Every structure is written in C-alpha cells, then in structure tokens.
Amino acid sequence: MRASFFWFLPLLLILASVAQGQPRPKPGIRRKPKPRPTPSFPQPHEPAEPTDLPPPLPPGPPSVFPDCPRECYCPPDFPSALYCDSRNLRKVPIIPPRIHYLYLQNNFITELPVESFKNATGLRWINLDNNRIRKVDQRVLEKLPGLAFLYMDKNQLEEVPSALPRNLEQLRLSQNLISRIPPGVFSKLENLLLLDLQHNRLSDGVFKADTFQGLKNLMQLNLAHNILRRMPPKVPPAIHQLYLDSNKIETIPSGYFKDFPNLAFIRMNYNKLSDRGLPKNSFNISNLLVLHLSHNKISNVPAISNKLEHLYLNNNSIEKINGTQICPSNLVAFHDFSSDLENVPHLRYLRLDGNFLKPPIPLDLMMCFRLLQSVVI
Ligand SMILES: *[C@@H]1O[C@H](CO)[C@@H](O)[C@H](O)[C@H]1NC(C)=O
Ligand SMILES: *[C@@H]1O[C@H](CO)[C@@H](O)[C@H](O)[C@H]1NC(C)=O
Ligand SMILES: *[C@@H]1O[C@H](CO)[C@@H](O)[C@H](O)[C@H]1NC(C)=O
Ligand SMILES: *[C@@H]1O[C@H](CO)[C@@H](O)[C@H](O)[C@H]1NC(C)=O
C-alpha cells in the first residue's frame, strides 16, 4: 500500500469496510442460496454425467392439497406457493393451476419442454436459479400471461429465451453461457424493469440498434462480466442503473450518457478506460448520483456535476488533483455557503486510493466539496 490517509468529517461508517479492502456489496445483486448437499449421497465433485446425479429425494408426507406434486412442498397457509427447490429434480413437476409462486431453484433440470407449466397459467413468479437448463421450448413461456418474475441465474443457456411473456418485470439470466440475443426478444416487454445478463459471453456484435427496442420502462440493465469492448448501443432512455463492470471497454462515445435523463448509477469498474477514451464531459450529467470507475487507467479526474454524491476512482493512474479545476461550482461564488445549499457540490464520498497521489488532501478540494464525509487517498 502506498500511503493511506483518511479524512473524517463527522459521521463515517461506510468507510469501515472499504478501509479493510473489502468491496461493498453491489446493489441489485442478490445472494443466492447454495445447493444443499444431499445427506445420503456425498458429492465431492461436480457431477459431469446425469448418471452421477444424486437420486431424487423420497416423496414427503401427503399434503392437505390433493393436487400437490409428491416431490414438492405445498405450505398449508400459503396455497399459491409451491416449493420444489433443492430436491434433485430432473424435470419440472406438474404444477397445479392455483400456483402463483413457484420455487424450483437448486435442482438438475436440463430443459423446459413444451408441456412444462401446462395449465399453470396463473404463475407470476418462477425461480429456476441454479439448474442446468440448456433449452427452453419457444411455446413454454408465452403461455404464462401473468408471469412477472423469471429467475434463471446459473444455468447453461446459450441464448436469451424467445417468446417471453409481455408482463415480465424482472428477467434474471446471469451466470449462463449466453452469447446470442435473438432479434426482437425484448420488443414486447414494455413492463420490464430489470434485465440482468451479467456473467455471460456477450460481445459487441450481439448488440444491434434494435436489441433493446421496446423496453420502454427498463430501469436496471446489468451487462457486467461480459466481453464488451464498446458501450452497448441504443440502451433504453428510461434507464436508471447501468452496470458494465469487468468488461474491456476502452472508450465512451461523445455524449453517450446525455440520452438518459434518469441515469443515477453508473458502474464501470474493471474496464480499460483511459483519458483518451473519455470525452471531457462524459460523466458531467445532471442526475448522476453514483459513479464507479475503479480499476481503469484514468489519469485525470473526470468532470462531474454538482449532484454527484459518490465517486470511485481508486486504482487508476491519477498523479495529481486540482480541486479548483474539478470543482463543479465556481469556488469563489459560494462563500455564503449556508444560504446556497443547492449550488454546493453534493459529493459526500470520494475514493482515490491506489493512484499515484500522496496525502495531504489539497485544500482547494476540501474548499469545494464541503459536504464530503470521507476521502480515501
Ligand atoms: C391440464 O388440464 C386439462 C384439462 O383440465 C387436463 O386434462 C390435463 O390433464 C392437464 N394437464 C396437466 C399437465 O396438468
Ligand atoms: C458540466 O456541465 C455543466 C452544464 O452543462 C457546465 O456548465 C460545466 O461547465 C461542465 N463542467 C465542466 C468541468 O466542463
Ligand atoms: C489549479 O487550477 C487552477 C485553475 O486552472 C489554477 O489557477 C491553479 O494554479 C491550479 N493549482 C495548482 C496547485 O496547480
Ligand atoms: C488497489 O489499490 C489499493 C490501495 O493502494 C492496493 O492495496 C491494491 O493492491 C490495489 N489493487 C490492485 C488490483 O491493483
């Protein structure tokens, strides 16, 4: 470690985890339960062949619901839910029509053939995380008009499933092998709020001008941990959170973020951004609150707006910092600080460690960012 210096203005709790070098939890990424090992069948290695799979669990006691699939659990006081998770299932059981919430995570399901979910047209929520799904029949999902949440993280899909139902609000497909997005798959998903495609194999060529067309209300797009070299084109303008960490992005086209009036969170840690690839006012946009640019090759602090509250620039190549230059307000203009809170830069948290900077923190920086609660250099 070069030099560590923490500047404490009154409260400062966030810093504790950072100072220990631990990344803060990423918003929007859920922790998923680990598959439970079966007690009778110790499994030291990942099974490679279906013959290696542990046997399905014996059926449980009879349920109060005569239509309850024997391999699942139907909670008596929650008749719209069906728990079939962590039961070594190879296929989707017959789902009763009364079910709205279906838990199938942590099994060994390999495909969703046409008869899956037949008659279960009331489904609103399906969790298929951590299975081995490679194939989804085109006709399976379109017959679920009420489906709002589809979770298929940690499967083996090579493309985004087609014929997604219109009312979908959340589609989670992280940790698959997705390298293709069929044309028009999202075109009718006007209600989709969250699209999670992180940890896949998406490259630049996959994204066409019309890929995201129709996603009028999309708020969060997560394309982190893919192999993008360029910014994705035509991202829906309603977007609020854009996550692109751990790609290979070198440049941002001029004015790229100007098209997104609501954009408040940008994460681009672990890319290949340098000053050359960053047009001057790339991130100087009015509603941005949080900007993550750690682990790039940036040597000058980019221009920011008054509204920005959190800025992460640690582990870049910054050699010097001039508080007057990066100050989004005119320093001399706000000597009457208390009466002019609107114009005081909102920055509260700034990370600059892992650069070529040495303490102390320049005075003009502190003069400008008077609401700063912590700076890490
Ligand atoms: C679906 O419903 C039809 C008509 O009620 C019934 O005959 C059929 O067995 C059901 N199929 C499944 C898979 O439950
Ligand atoms: C940031 O944008 C605002 C408004 O567009 C502009 O007035 C300001 O000069 C810009 N900041 C820098 C450092 O260019
Ligand atoms: C910082 O920038 C301002 C304005 O560009 C300049 O007048 C000042 O001399 C700079 N300060 C240092 C320490 O380089
Ligand atoms: C990031 O910077 C910190 C603080 O200087 C340093 O301890 C750490 O090794 C750096 N990480 C990488 C991956 O360079």
Preceding peptide of 183 cis, ω within 30° = no
- Dihedral sign computed on CA atoms, order 204, 206, 209, 215: negative
CA distance 172 to 267: 18
Ligand 4 centre and the CA of 359: distance in Å? 16
Residues with CB under 6 A from ligand 1: 94, 118-119
Shortest-distance ligand to the CA of residue 367: 3
- Dihedral sign computed on CA atoms, order 133, 138, 141, 144: negative
Q: 10-residue block means of pLDDT along the chain (377 residues)? A: 38 33 40 44 51 72 87 94 95 96 97 94 97 95 95 98 96 98 96 98 97 97 98 96 98 94 97 96 94 97 95 96 86 57 88 93 89 90
Contacts of 72 (CB under 8 A, 6+ apart): 82, 83, 84, 87, 93
Ligand 1 centre and the CA of 116: distance in Å? 12
Beta-ladder partners of 242 = 221, 266
Q: Of all protein residues, whose CA lies closest to atom 1 belonging to ligand 1?
A: 119
Q: In ligand 1, which atom is closest to the CA atom of 97? A: 14
CA distance 86 to 76: 20
Residues with CB under 6 A from ligand 2: 281, 284, 303, 305
Confidence at residue 16, expressed as pLDDT on a 0 to 100 scale: 31
Q: Of all protein residues, whose CA lies closest to atom 7 belonging to ligand 1?
A: 119
Q: In ligand 1, which atom is closest to the CA atom of 96? A: 14
Ligand 4 neighbour 354 (Cβ under 6 A): yes
Ligand 4 neighbour 18 (Cβ under 6 A): no
Confidence at residue 360, expressed as pLDDT on a 0 to 100 scale: 87
- Dihedral sign computed on CA atoms, order 302, 306, 312, 318: positive
Ligand 1 centre and the CA of 82: distance in Å? 18
Ligand 4 centre and the CA of 340: distance in Å? 38
Q: Of all protein residues, whose CA lies closest to atom 3 belonging to ligand 1?
A: 119
Ligand 3 centre and the CA of 358: distance in Å? 17
Q: What is the reported pTM?
A: 0.85
Ligand 4 neighbour 16 (Cβ under 6 A): no
Q: In ligand 2, which atom is closest to the CA atom of 281? A: 14
Q: Of all protein residues, whose CA lies closest to atom 9 belonging to ligand 1?
A: 119
Q: Of all protein residues, whose CA lies closest to atom 10 belonging to ligand 4?
A: 354
Q: Which of 297, 315, 375 to mutate to test the pocket of ligand 4 (most atoms within 8 A of CB)?
A: 315
Confidence at residue 31, expressed as pLDDT on a 0 to 100 scale: 45
Ligand 4 centre and the CA of 353: distance in Å? 8
CA distance 319 to 300: 8
Shortest-distance ligand to the CA of residue 93: 1
